[in-house]
Structure 1
């Protein structure tokens, strides 16, 4: 008789034992970091270890206001997803890139995209 215990674990290398409550709470907290109309678009422009100047992000996302772009980038920076580098020059040069932890979002978001594409009523 075969055992299926290896198939139903959350993650084979995970040492944390999740209950349904703690798993749901962890996922909810992760989605709170990513919620916002523009955050996903900003992240996809920064994936692949790309560094973008603020003006490049403004041009790449033409429908976003400057104020909203600043807010979303600050929230991502406060959450540890994005790093901001200010170069001391005139005019000021500000660059954004994903932190090492932020880069690990790429496979997770790819998995969500693949899951969404498999929707039965598409």
Structure 2
């Protein structure tokens, strides 16, 4: 059986109580998504190059894919300005801004886990 992200999001094959958690994790999972979110939650919309700079070692292809998926999920908005050359900016939607509490909770839990397991950061 192959993985179907859409089936996970719609709970098509999973009607139990964990479906909503799986759907949420599907939306925020991805190597770069939480890092992109962290950059965009700092304030004003940013251009692709500024997001890439903030991430460091990310390929253009990977970043483009992650941004498109986040846009498709309604987490970010992509605004194209009719200029030459075109200017594109990315910002959080209201839905994306609502991830703040989830992000903060993951941060607290992660720090507790690191401390409890005496891991180096």
Q: Of 70, 89, 93, which aligns to 1:76? A: 70
Matched, 1:105 2:91: no
Choose between structure 1 and 2: higher helix proportion.
2
TM norm structure 1? 0.77
Aligned to 1:36: 30
Give per-residue Cα distances to partners, 1:24-48, cap 9 Å, x unaligned.
Answer: 1101100001111111111100014
| CA distance in 1 between partners of 2:55 and 2:107 (Å) | 20
Aligned to 1:52: 46
Q: CA RMSD of the aligned region, Å?
A: 1.2
Q: Higher Cα Rg: structure 1 or 2?
A: 1
Aligned to 2:59: 65
| CA distance in 2 between partners of 1:117 and 1:47 (Å) | 20
Aligned to 2:81: 87
TM norm structure 2? 0.78
Note the C-alpha offset of 1:58: 1.8
Aligned to 1:121: 117
Which 5+ residue runs of structure 1 have no aligned equivalent?
Answer: 1-20
Which 5+ residue runs of structure 2 have no aligned equivalent?
Answer: 1-15
